[in-house]
Amino acid sequence: MAFSPALTRLIDALRVLPGVGSKSAQRMAFHLLQREREGGRYLAQAVEQAMASVQHCKACRMFTDSELCDICSNERRDATLVCVVESPADVMAIEQNTDFTGRYFVLLGRLSPIDGVGPSELGLDILRSRLADGSVEEVILATGATVEGEATAQYVADLARQHDAGISRIAHGVPIGGELEYVDSGTLSQAFSGRRPF
């Protein structure tokens, strides 16, 4: 005996979501069917519409419903500053927590030859053409502080250097509010080697 075809298909389909295995998928399906039919219908529509209409910004690869994202089409954003990040979530984090007024370039990943992610998967030809037109004065590297993030930053820096753009890397060190005692060794040694005049 198995679940009905529509329910089996629902459980199976929910497994495309990251971190959702068969038990969670079953729990989600039961929840939708027992308590959230309306929410389920809303979910179906939202997923369908997003799959059809969300695309990548032609200039920065951010998710958008149009050719250009809100930031790239905003004339008041400083086009001479380009902050390079790994994911759309990073853009949101920077927008919500800093007063950065430049533009972005979203790699949608990081260099990882083992996983087949090279410069073209990261859309670096698009970034190259933005650099080539000479309007970018500074590239701010905001990729993650991981081995792959550093390698990616290095690669993007080389690219920027070829086009005579200035290059900076966001600061890494002890987090604000962090107690030295509890900071991991890599961060602490980075904080020392990156010390600045006070």
Question: Exposed, middle or buried, 101 (CB in 10 Å: 0-12/13-18/19+)?
Answer: exposed
Quickly count helices (H) and strands (E) in the chain: 7, 6
Q: Specify the stretch interacting with its own copies by CB under 8 A; choose among 34-42, 122-130, 133-141, 156-164.
A: 34-42
The yes or no reply on residue 93 touching its own copies (CB under 8 A) is: no
Which amino acid, 32? L
Q: Which is nearer to its own copies, 69 or 141 (CB)?
A: 69
The residue within the footprint of its own copies, chosen from 92, 118, 135, 189 (CB under 8 A), is 92
Q: Where is 140: in which H helix or E strand? A: strand 138-141
User: Residue 47 contacts by C-beta under 8 Å, 6 or more apart in sequence?
Assistant: none
Q: Which is nearer to its own copies, 5 or 113 (CB)?
A: 5
Q: Which is nearer to its own copies, 24 or 112 (CB)?
A: 24
The residue within the footprint of its own copies, chosen from 59, 84, 88, 127 (CB under 8 A), is 88
Nearest to 83 by CA among 107, 112, 66, 48: 107
Which amino acid, 152? T
The residue within the footprint of its own copies, chosen from 21, 58, 67, 71 (CB under 8 A), is 71
The yes or no reply on residue 85 touching its own copies (CB under 8 A) is: no
The yes or no reply on residue 67 touching its own copies (CB under 8 A) is: no
Determine the Cα–Cα distance for residues 125 and 122; give it in Å rounded to an integer. 8
The yes or no reply on residue 26 touching its own copies (CB under 8 A) is: yes
The SS3 call for residue 16 is coil
Token output for 71:
């930031």
Is the CB of residue 110 less than 8 Å from the CB of residue 117?
A: yes
The residue within the footprint of its own copies, chosen from 59, 60, 65, 165 (CB under 8 A), is 65
Q: Which is nearer to its own copies, 48 or 164 (CB)?
A: 48
CB of 2 to its own copies, least distance (A): 8
Per the DSSP assignment, residues forming a β-bridge with 104 are 83
CB of 194 to its own copies, least distance (A): 29
The residue ranges that bind its own copies (CB under 8 A) are 1-7, 9-10, 12-14, 16-19, 24, 26-34, 36-37, 39-51, 53-54, 63-66, 69-71, 87-89, 92, 95, 108
